[in-house]
A = this chain, B = another copy of it.
Amino acid sequence: MNNTPRDGGIEAVFSQLREISRRSNARSRIIDHPLTFVEHSLLRFIATTEGARATDIATAFSLNRSTVSRQINTLIRLELVQYQDSENSAESPTHGPSGRGKILALTERGHSQLASSTAAHQNVVQERLTGWTDAEITSFAAALARYNAAE
């Protein structure tokens, strides 16, 4: 590493991603309104993942299923999340039969809180992007998406 300009670029990308992680994790210890980092992450996953189940969350976040079970029960207690009724999922026009596992869904309050939390976080991103042109932002988003799309 560090032998070619390409290596230098890779090193710089790694370094910057590390900085993004550091800042994100530092922020996660501070922010708890309207949602904690974990709450937000889980709600977001459920909102964006068709037929999300506890085991999907455990896989996506490399967490033990027991941890996820408890986290979900916390969200249920907070009335942010509910299990879909099997009748609902069978009749839902956009959901197939429920299959294995209990499907999670956001409550109305869950949607609302997630939207509120997302807006707050996006404001921070917006401020960091002050001075960027629209094209630069679009290009940056595309590069990030391309990077994330890789397996």
Contact = CB atoms under 8 A, between A and B. Distances in A.
A5 B130 CA distance: 15
A100 interface: no
Interface string A116-151: 001101100111111010101111111111111010
A12 B141 contact: yes
**Oligomer copy total:** 2
Interface stretch (A55-63, A73-81, A85-93, A104-112): A55-63
A44 interface: yes
A10 B137 contact: yes
Interface in A11-43: 11-14, 16-27, 29-30, 41
B22 A137 contact: no
A150 B30 CA distance: 19
Given A18-B44, A125-B17, A62 B30 contact: yes
A144 B9 contact: no
